[in-house]
Structure 1
Amino acid sequence: MRDADQLISTLHRLDANSYGAYKRLRDDVYDYGDFTLEFTRIQSDPYAPPSGVRVRVPLDVLALPDGLVSTEDERVAAADHIARRFARVIAHTRDIALAPLGQEILERSSCRLDERGLELRFQVHLPARGRRILGHQAARLFDLDVPDAVFAACDFAEAGEDARRALTEHVHCYVDYLTIRATLAERNWVAFVADDAVLARASGISDAPMEGAVAFASPESTRVHLDLPHAGTVTGMGIPAGVTVIVGGGYHGKSTLLAALERAVYAHIPGDGRERCATDPDAMKIRAEDGRAIRGTDISLFIDDLPGGADTSAFSTDNASGSTSQAASIAEAIEAGGRTLLIDEDTSATNLMIRDARMRELVQAEPITPLVDRIRLLSGRGISSVLVMGGSGDYLAHADLVLGLDTYRVSDLTARAHDIAGATPIPGEDRPGALVRDRAGRACPAPRHGKRRTTKAMATRAVVLDRTSIDISAIAQIVDPGQAEAIAWALRRLTEDELAQHATVREAVDAVAARTSANLDSVSEHTAPAFLVAPRRVDIAAALSRYRGLLVR
C-alpha cells in the first residue's frame, strides 16, 4: 500500500506525458488515512470510457447510527442511501461519475456495505489535452475533489443529525417494505397499496410523484391493517390472489394504479409516494410486442390448430404478431415461475384478450383461444391476474374482485359487476397436464465477429451480445440500466455455459439468478464492476426468451 501523497506526486510528474502513462497508477492501493483508493481500470485514451475507481471506508469512519445495519437487508438500504448522497455531491463535478439512480431501493455494485465497511465504486475521467496528460489537474482531482466527495457522502460523524435521520428513515422504509412483501405470501395476496399513497407520476418522463395528486384511499371492503416494524400500524388495500379487474372511464386512473403495482415489485425511497406499496416480487407486466422473437415456446394454451399444422407447443418465429407475442409472454412468465400477470388492455392484442358472441358465431374456425376463456383455468392453477379493462365487460363474470376508478378514487364494484354480468365467477375449462411445456436448452454461443467480445446494455432498451442486439424495451420491470447490464452478463453465462448444464431453461436461469443474488459481481467478467444492479430472475428469463440465437429442445 502506498501513501496518498505518492499518488498526488506521481500525477504531478506525469504532466505532459502521453496518455498511456496513466497506466502506472494500476496495481497499487493508496492510503488516504480514513479510506483507501485504487484504480480498477485505467482508460486507454481520453476518448475511452472513464477509468474505474474503488474506495473502501471502514465502519468506524462511517460512524453509522448504532444498530442500523445489523442485517443484510439493512446494509443494502444503507448503501443505496449513501450512493445517493455521493451522487448529489458529485452532481456538478464533470470528471466524477456514479451509476444513475432511480426511485427504487436496489442492490447495487456501485456501493456495497458489509461487516467491514463500505465499498464505493465510481468512474473518473482522467484529464488530458489531446493525448497528453494534464497531471496537475489530475493531482487536484485526487487531492481535493475525490476525497472531499467521499467524506461528504460517507462521514456521518460530521454529517449532522439531519443526515443521520435521513439515513435511518431510508433503512426503516426498506425494512417496512420487505415486511409488507412477506405479508403478501402469508395472506395469499398479490399486492398491497397503502392508504395515502401517491401513485400518479409527475410526467411521462419523470418518475417523481405528481404534486397535488389524489392520494390513494382503499375501499372499505378491501381495507386491511398491517403492523410494520418502524411505521407502526398502516391501512390499505390488500388485493387477493385470483382475478382482479380494474375498470373506469378514460383518464380516471386505471393504468396509473396498474403501473404502481408493476413498480411495487421494488421498494421505493422515502417521499416517492409508493414506499408502502408492494406486489408479488415475481409479478410480470404482460403486453403485445409486434415483431419480437419467440424460441420454442409453448403457446398452445392460447393458439392451436394453425393452418398448415405448425406445432404451437414449441413455437418459434422471428416476427411475432401482437396476439402471438402476448401469448408467448404469458407462457414464458409461467414457465419462469411467475404467479401474477399484470395486463392493460391498452397495450394488449384485442384478439388475444376477448372474442365477442357475434364474432364467435360469424367466424368459427379460430385458432386463438382468448385469455378471457382461460382466465379461470389460470386462476385455478395458482396464476393470478390483475387486468385493466375499459372497453369490454367480458371479464366481469370471471372476476374475484372488480375495482372501479373514478377521478383516481377507488371503489369495490364486484357485486354490481356480477349483477350486470348475469353470473357469479365462472369456473374455466380445465385441461390435463402442465399449463406450458418447460423448454430444454443447450449451449448457443452468440455469433462472434473477429476476436472482440461485446457484452453490454443500451440503457433499458436492449442488451448486446457481440453483434446481436436483444430488444428488452417491452420488459417493463427492468427499471435500471444496471439491471440491463447484469442481464446482459447473465445471458452471456446462459448461452455459453449454463443452458447446456441443466435440463430446462428455467433451471439454467434459476442457477444463474441464484449465483447473481449471492454475489452480484460474479455475473460479470470485469474486476469490480461499478454499474451492475440486481435483476429479477423472471426478467433474466424474459430477456433470454427474446434472444434470436436461443436454441431449445
Structure 2
Amino acid sequence: MQSSDQLQTLLHSVNRKSYPAYKSLRGAYQFDRYILSIDHVQGDPFASPSHISVKLTHRDTGFPAEYYKDTLTRITLGDFLNRQFEQQISRYTFRAKGSGKSGLISVSHCGQEVLARTACEVTEKGITARFFIGFPANGRTINSPELEKIFFDFLPVCIHKAFFYRNLDAGRLKQAIELAEDQEYIRKELHRRSLAAFINDGAILPRESGISSRPMKDSVPFVSPEHLRISLDLPHKGTITGMGIPCGITLIVGGGYHGKSTLLNALELGVYNHISGDGREYVITDDSALKLRSEDGRFIKDVDISLFINDLPNKKDTRCFSTEDASGSTSQAAGIIDGMEAGSRVFLLDEDTSATNFMVRDSFMQRVIRREKEPITPFLERARDLYEKAGISTVLVAGSSGAFFHIADTVIQMDNYRPVDITAATHKLCSEYPLSAAEPPSFHMPDSHRIMTKAKAAPSRHGRTGQPERLKTKVHGKDGFSLGKIEVDLRYIEQLTDSEQTASLALLLKYAIEHLIDEKHTLPEIVAYLDAQLHKQGLAFFSEGNYIPCGYAIPRIQEIYSCFNRYRRP
C-alpha cells in the first residue's frame, strides 16, 4: 500500500499528460485513518466516472459495537452513513472544474426504504464506502491539480463528517438503529400472531405525488377499526396500537378515491424497513409478500399453470406451459406459480390490475359458458385452497364484483382513508345473495422442474463453435435491463423500489448464465444458490473484477425469481 504523499507525487507527474495517464493512479493509498482506493479509472472525461472506495476500521470510526452486531444493524448503519455522505459530497460536486464529467462526486441516492447497498457496506471488520468521481481534464488533457483538490481538500472533510461517530448526530443514529430493531420485532410478531401485516395508528399512507414517495402533508392519519386493533410492546418505542390483518383471505373494498389502492401500496412496500419520518415506519408486511398482476405479452417458460388453466382447445400441456406472448389471465396464473415457488406466504392483488376472467366468473357467465368449455379456474375458486392447503394468505382490493365477499375471512371498507371492519355485516348479506355452486378441479401443488437454458455459442468464421461472447448489461432505470441482445422487462414487478436493485438483478442473471446454467440445474436450485451467496458474501461474489462498485442494492429472492422467469431464454 502506498501513502497519500505518493499519490500526491503521482498526481503531479501526470499533470497535462494525455487522459489515459490517469490509469497509473490505480491502487490503495493510506490517508489519515482511512484507506482510499482508486478501483477503476474512466477512459476519458466524458465517460462514466471513476470508481473510488474508502475503507475505515471500527476502531477509528468509534461506533458502538451494538450498532453493527448483526445483519439488521449493519444494513441500517450503512444506510444512515450513506445518507450522511451524500449530504456532504453534494456541497463539493463539480467544484473542481474541467470538461465533461470533471469534478463530479456522486454516491447512491437513498429513497424512503432502507436497502442493503454497495455504496456503504458495514461488516464485522469495518466500513467500506463506494462512490464515483469524474477525474478532471481540460479537453482530454489531465488537470491533476483539480483532482488533488478533490482527494486532499474536499474528500477528507466529507469522510470525517460522515463516517466518524463523534462528528455525527448520535441521537438520530440511535433512533435509526432502534427503529430498525422495532420494525424487525413487528415482523417476528406477525408470524407469532398469525398476521399477514400490521398498520399502526397514526400512519400516513398517502404519498406526496405520483412521482414522489415522501408522505403527503395534511393527509388523514390511519386509525384502525376496533375489532382489528391490536397492541404491540416494542423494545424501544414501547406500546403502539394498529390494525393487524389476519392470515387468510382479506378483502379491501370501498368507493373510488377512498384509499383502497393507497393501503395496498403501503402493504406491498411494507416488506422493506422505512426511514423515520416516512409515515409508514410501522407498516409492516410479511417479508415474503408478493404483489401480483396481469402482464399481457409476458414470457413464460415451462411453468405448471394447470392449477388455474387446463384443457386448452389446442391440447397444449399446461403442466409444462410456455409462451412468448402470454395473455392477461395466463400471465397472472404464471405469476402465482412463480410466487409459490419463491416461498411467498402472502399474495397482494388489486382487481384493477388483474385479468377479469382470471379473477371471477359470475353466475350468468357460468350458465352461458359451461364448466367443460372454460379452461380457466378463476382465482375466486382457488383462494381458499391456497390458504388452507398451501399456507398462502391473500389481500385483495376489489371494487366491482361482490363474489369475493363470499370467500373473505376479513372485509375492510376504506371510507375517506379510514378503515372500517364490515366483516360481520357482509357475511350476513352473503346469505341473501348466494353464489352458484362451483366444483373446481381438485387442488394440487404445482410440479415445476424447470431447467434453465442458454443460447448456444455462435460458430466462428471457420465453422468452429467458439466460446460464447461475454454478455454486456445495460440497466434501463427501475423498469428493466438488456443482457446481450435480450431485453428483460421488469415494469410490472411493482415491489422493485430502486434502480440499484434492477442493476443487481442484471448482475445475478449475467453470472447465472455465464457460470451456472449447465442443462442440469433447475431454476429453483440456481436461485437458491445465488440467494445463499448474496447473504454470505454479498454482491462482490458476482463481480467480474476484484472490486464491486457503487450502484447496487440487494433484491429479495421474490424479485430474483421474477427476473429470471422473465428472461426470454430458449
Query: Residue by residue, what CA displacement relative to the aligned partner does 1:486-537 show, whole Å, maximum 9, x if unpaired?
Result: 1112212333443448653222211111111222221332422322211101
Quote the residue 1:54 is aligned against. 53
Quote the residue 1:380 is aligned against. 388
Does 2:28 align with 1:29?
Answer: yes
Query: Residue by residue, what CA displacement relative to the aligned partner does 1:441-484 show, whole Å, maximum 9, x if unpaired?
Result: 14425878984521342221112221211001111111112211
Letter in 2 for 1:119: T
Does 2:509 align with 1:479?
Answer: no
In 2, are the aligned partners of 1:302 and 1:327 still within 8 Å (CA)? yes
In 2, are the aligned partners of 1:195 and 1:217 still within 8 Å (CA)? yes
Does 2:7 align with 1:7?
Answer: yes
One of 435, 443, 453 as aligned partner of 2:471: 453
Quote the residue 2:170 is aligned against. 164
Q: 1:389 to 1:108 in 2, by over 3 A?
A: same
Following superposition, the deviation at residue 428 of structure 1 comes to: 8.3
Taking the aligned partners of 1:424 and 1:282, their CA distance within structure 2 comes to 35
Taking the aligned partners of 2:63 and 2:30, their CA distance within structure 1 comes to 22
Letter in 1 for 2:355: A
Taking the aligned partners of 2:155 and 2:348, their CA distance within structure 1 comes to 44
Quote the residue 1:63 is aligned against. 62
Taking the aligned partners of 2:498 and 2:433, their CA distance within structure 1 comes to 42
In 2, are the aligned partners of 1:376 and 1:428 still within 8 Å (CA)? no
Find the residue that maps to 2:239 and give its secondary structure.
strand
One of 528, 541, 545 as aligned partner of 1:522: 541
Taking the aligned partners of 1:269 and 1:432, their CA distance within structure 2 comes to 45
In 2, are the aligned partners of 1:486 and 1:523 still within 8 Å (CA)? no
Letter in 1 for 2:380: V
Taking the aligned partners of 2:255 and 2:90, their CA distance within structure 1 comes to 42
One of 224, 228, 248 as aligned partner of 1:242: 248
Following superposition, the deviation at residue 67 of structure 1 comes to: 3.5
Quote the residue 1:188 is aligned against. 194
Quote the residue 1:437 is aligned against. 447
Following superposition, the deviation at residue 300 of structure 1 comes to: 1.4
Q: 1:301 to 1:483 in 2, by over 3 A?
A: same
Quote the residue 1:464 is aligned against. 482
Q: 1:287 to 1:22 in 2, by over 3 A?
A: same
Quote the residue 1:228 is aligned against. 234
Q: 1:20 to 1:305 in 2, by over 3 A?
A: same
Taking the aligned partners of 1:20 and 1:158, their CA distance within structure 2 comes to 38
Taking the aligned partners of 1:31 and 1:385, their CA distance within structure 2 comes to 55
Quote the residue 2:464 is aligned against. none
Q: 1:75 to 1:428 in 2, by over 3 A?
A: farther
Taking the aligned partners of 1:428 and 1:458, their CA distance within structure 2 comes to 45
Does 2:317 align with 1:318?
Answer: no
Deviates more, 1:201-210 or 1:442-451: 442-451
Q: 1:71 to 1:452 in 2, by over 3 A?
A: closer
One of 551, 558, 561 as aligned partner of 1:541: 561
Query: Residue by residue, what CA displacement relative to the aligned partner does 1:220-267 show, whole Å, maximum 9, x if unpaired?
Result: 111111121111111111111110000000000000000000000000
Deviates more, 1:240-249 or 1:109-118: 109-118
Quote the residue 1:408 is aligned against. 417
In 1, are the aligned partners of 2:345 and 2:392 still within 8 Å (CA)? yes
Quote the residue 2:363 is aligned against. 357
Letter in 2 for 1:110: A
Find the residue that maps to 1:157 and give its secondary structure.
helix
In 1, are the aligned partners of 2:303 and 2:450 still within 8 Å (CA)? no
Following superposition, the deviation at residue 61 of structure 1 comes to: 2.9
Taking the aligned partners of 1:125 and 1:446, their CA distance within structure 2 comes to 39
Q: State how 1:73-472 maps to structure 2 within 5 Å.
A: 73-92=72-91, 93-94=93-94, 95-159=104-168, 163-364=169-370, 365-381=373-389, 382-422=391-431, 434-445=444-455, 451-472=469-490
Following superposition, the deviation at residue 395 of structure 1 comes to: 0.5
Letter in 2 for 1:147: P
Query: Residue by residue, what CA displacement relative to the aligned partner does 1:133-177 show, whole Å, maximum 9, x if unpaired?
Result: 111111111111122211121122133xxx111111111111111
Quote the residue 1:42 is aligned against. 41
Query: Residue by residue, what CA displacement relative to the aligned partner does 1:190-213 show, whole Å, maximum 9, x if unpaired?
Result: 111111111111111000011111
Quote the residue 2:97 is aligned against. none
Taking the aligned partners of 1:112 and 1:295, their CA distance within structure 2 comes to 36
In 2, are the aligned partners of 1:498 and 1:512 still within 8 Å (CA)? no
In 2, are the aligned partners of 1:438 and 1:504 still within 8 Å (CA)? no
Following superposition, the deviation at residue 278 of structure 1 comes to: 1.0
Q: 1:466 to 1:446 in 2, by over 3 A?
A: farther
Find the residue that maps to 2:222 and give its secondary structure.
coil
Q: Which runs of 5 or more structure 2 residues have no equivalent in the other structure?
A: 95-103, 459-466
Letter in 2 for 1:128: A
Find the residue that maps to 1:543 and give its secondary structure.
helix
Following superposition, the deviation at residue 50 of structure 1 comes to: 1.0
Taking the aligned partners of 1:428 and 1:151, their CA distance within structure 2 comes to 68
Quote the residue 2:461 is aligned against. none
In 2, are the aligned partners of 1:209 and 1:273 still within 8 Å (CA)? yes
Letter in 2 for 1:531: G
Taking the aligned partners of 2:286 and 2:202, their CA distance within structure 1 comes to 21
Find the residue that maps to 1:151 and give its secondary structure.
helix
Taking the aligned partners of 1:196 and 1:489, their CA distance within structure 2 comes to 40
Taking the aligned partners of 2:346 and 2:196, their CA distance within structure 1 comes to 7
In 2, are the aligned partners of 1:108 and 1:532 still within 8 Å (CA)? yes
Letter in 2 for 1:375: A
Segments ≥4 residues shifted beyond 4 Å: 423-433, 445-452
In 1, are the aligned partners of 2:385 and 2:443 still within 8 Å (CA)? no
Structure-1-length-normalised TM-score: 0.94
In 1, are the aligned partners of 2:205 and 2:263 still within 8 Å (CA)? yes
Quote the residue 1:504 is aligned against. 522
Taking the aligned partners of 1:358 and 1:272, their CA distance within structure 2 comes to 46
Find the residue that maps to 1:68 and give its secondary structure.
helix
Following superposition, the deviation at residue 64 of structure 1 comes to: 2.2
Find the residue that maps to 1:207 and give its secondary structure.
strand
Letter in 1 for 2:2: R
Pairs aligned (count): 546
Letter in 1 for 2:449: R
Taking the aligned partners of 1:440 and 1:451, their CA distance within structure 2 comes to 25
Taking the aligned partners of 2:532 and 2:443, their CA distance within structure 1 comes to 28
Query: Residue by residue, what CA displacement relative to the aligned partner does 1:28-62 show, whole Å, maximum 9, x if unpaired?
Result: 32111121101111112222211111101222332
Deviates more, 1:369-378 or 1:59-68: 59-68
**Aligned-pair Cα RMSD in Å:** 2.1
Taking the aligned partners of 1:499 and 1:249, their CA distance within structure 2 comes to 49
